[in-house]
Structure 1
Amino acid sequence: MRGASGALALGSLVGVDAVRAAVLRRADPHAGEDFALIEGDRSRIVRSDDGVELAVREVGRADAPVTAVFVHGFCMDMTAWHFQRYELASRWGDDVRMVFYDQRGHGSSGSGPRPSCTIAQLGDDLMAVIEQTAPTGPVFVVGHSMGGMTALAFAARHRRAVRERLVGLALMSTTAAGLSSTGLAASLENPVIDAFRLAVRTSPDTVQRMRGAARRIITPILRAASYGTDVGRSVQAFSNAMIDRTSVVTIVDFLRTLELHDESAALPVLRDVPTVILSGDADIVIPFAASRALAEGLPDAELVRVRRAGHLVQLEFPNLVSDAIDRTLVRSLAAAERSHRAG
């Protein structure tokens, strides 16, 4: 029944999409925004441990005292951090280098074989990005949705790097446990999606024939669950385009790991790492209760509940998110300095 209710909630949002669009036509605070500006930043390729090429962009001095790595979520790409990239660059200047990358199967990065589409592998990809873009010095990680799960998997699988390099963490709209009975995974319990999963494994020709049907189910759900408030139509179009660019095969390949992953082993590793956990209370992809549960496992973390925000909180309330990241980085560096002085 919980899966049915989750699907009903998302279906209701899809139903009001036309009404929301009418409101958006009257107010668009980001009209004319160039959401492709990040594509002008320094680019490079990172090769993961299994050979997949990951597209990376960098902002700031290569020898900056600290590196912040931003990890996007499911069906997004690195441009999802558009507002944070520009706001935080203006605040941090030469003191922080920012690294953004597209997760495997997303954006401009390569796609690995289906068995590699796991949260564990994404954690290893993050390790590769850190090793190749910031081989020395303190690192601060920011993860949204699947990107937050990636950060947790990194912590569980690369404990020495956490101990020696990670100074702080920002986790947004994410969870340490799978989503098999709530949120997005529950809403996609559908015979067409199940058949598409089987086709991906067994019949490439069938995949091509079913691609359109699967997208007609998946895309409206992902779009409708993005926001809890009426964002401007430019932001809405921007996030919709990211969803539309994501391969249906990638979407379906990652659904299983989103349903079943368990990164709870990361929590003891991160207990002493300054962390902010932030989520919208209107998020029905990963409900706020998941953030509350995550905070219970990290009792010293700051928990931020963003009223009326949906899943794409960094686009819906960008200044609030930038403030939280900035505040946590300052706290993290202060804690690292105290630890260094103590010996």
Structure 2
Amino acid sequence: MSRGAGWLAGAAGVAAVGSAAGVSMARSLRRRVTDEDPHRDEDFELLDADRSCVVTTSDGVPLAVREVGPEDAPLTVVFAHGFCLRMGSFHFQRVRLTEHWGAQVRMVFFDQRGHGQSGDAPPETYTVEQLGRDLEAVLAVMAPKGPVVLVGHSMGGMAVLSHARQYPQRYPTRVVGAALISSAAEGVARSPVGEILKNPALEAVRFTARYAPKLVHRGRGAARSVIGPILRAASYGDEKISPSVVAFSERMMHDTPIATLVEFLHALEVHDETAGLETLRRVPTLVACGDRDLLTPKEYSQEMADVLAKSELVIVPGAGHLVQLECPEVINDALVRLVERATPSKLTALTRRVTQRVRSDD
């Protein structure tokens, strides 16, 4: 069989698996959308209006960066987004925490390589280890001094762990706290969707994306037919999720290049950043997830929290993988507590006074 014929057979296999494995998940997703939409008028592109710059990684990839808050704020919080998403997946954190922290905190957001407005990169660099190095590049430019708290969702949490493993000297001298949201220290093969993600047909698409990129567009529909329903169904758990939030997250997933999707999918299956947990033991941490997360089930979070002596474990009832979009108030409150635990007493006192003032105004 020729390489082209083999690839086409693989693509057909992906489509077949997608039809069989994805239909129940797609139906489940439809049940979770309600006619009520509290976020109908939400501006999900708000981050695009924030101060912007480009950070170039060590291997020359341009990363799109946005920041909000004073440049001389006492603390910088850096957000790393997840698989098939972009920095906008922290929309509700950007909106609500800006109001809460005011001038005390600067928030930095960026698109991972191959995602959002950041540049594409050689497929062999789509690894969790490289994401840790990319995070260091962002910190070197955006937060060269002063305390930093890292917040990672899903693959972004794995990037935080990778950074902790590769740059342990930064903890706790520079990085004073970290949040791992809907994440895992090891590959996701143990999750309920692990067996589907091991389908050989996906490897065929990955091979094409790496060695025959001009042909990869022919496999877009086939690859998405198996991966798309899984991602969508795993994203949310509550039966009353806002249609606007669902549509926003689906746009992020759909806009992710197919090469990025299949390469990082493989990376998430095989990564092992458990060594990073030893470094994170030095700083206060937040470990959070939804109890209906199919991609990184709560057991992953529980295992990490058990290792991290200074951790707070938050398991959100009824929430799926995109817990920071589905239940933003719970995650925001947990991040506020993390900052209070991780920052110097002066900032903690200021943050608490702001909180008390807001509550008294209510």
Structures share fold, TM-score greater than 0.5: yes
Match of 1:89 in 2: 98
Match of 2:222 in 1: 213
Give 1:301's match in structure 2, choosing from 299, 311, 315. Answer: 311
Match of 1:272 in 2: 282
Alignment partner of 1:63 is 2:72? yes
Indicate the larger mover: 279-288 or 162-171: 162-171
2:171–2:282 CA contact under 8 A, matched in 1: no
| Residue segments in structure 1 that go unaligned for 5+ positions in a row | 1-6, 339-343
Task: Give 1:50 shift.
Answer: 0.7
Alignment partner of 1:17 is 2:17? no
Match of 2:273 in 1: 263
Match of 2:165 in 1: 156
Q: Which amino acid aligns with 2:25?
A: L
Match of 2:63 in 1: 54
Match of 1:281 in 2: 291
- Distance in 2 between residues matched to 1:124 and 1:205, nearest whole Å: 29
- Distance in 2 between residues matched to 1:236 and 1:64, nearest whole Å: 34
- Distance in 1 between residues matched to 2:230 and 2:280, nearest whole Å: 33
Alignment partner of 1:202 is 2:214? no
Indicate the larger mover: 162-171 or 86-95: 162-171
Match of 2:261 in 1: 251
- Distance in 2 between residues matched to 1:184 and 1:62, nearest whole Å: 42
Give 1:238's match in structure 2, choosing from 213, 226, 248. Answer: 248
Match of 1:4 in 2: none
Find the residue that maps to 1:240 and give its secondary structure: helix
- Distance in 1 between residues matched to 2:214 and 2:109, nearest whole Å: 35
Give 1:45's match in structure 2, choosing from 27, 43, 54. Answer: 54
Change over 3 Å in CA distance of 1:336–1:116 after alignment to 2 = farther
Task: Give 1:37 shift.
Answer: 1.1
Alignment partner of 1:128 is 2:137? yes
Change over 3 Å in CA distance of 1:318–1:9 after alignment to 2 = farther
Task: Give 1:189 shift.
Answer: 3.0
Match of 1:168 in 2: 177
Find the residue that maps to 2:186 and give its secondary structure: coil
Find the residue that maps to 2:188 and give its secondary structure: coil
- Distance in 2 between residues matched to 1:142 and 1:54, nearest whole Å: 17
Match of 1:320 in 2: 330
**CA RMSD between the two structures:** 1.9
1:179–1:186 CA contact under 8 A, matched in 2: no
Task: Give 1:47 shift.
Answer: 0.6
- Distance in 2 between residues matched to 1:247 and 1:159, nearest whole Å: 32
1:81–1:314 CA contact under 8 A, matched in 2: yes
Match of 1:311 in 2: 321
Q: Can you list the C-alpha shifts for 1:180-211, whole angstroms capped at 9, x where unaligned?
A: 23244433233432210121233234323222
Change over 3 Å in CA distance of 1:243–1:178 after alignment to 2 = same
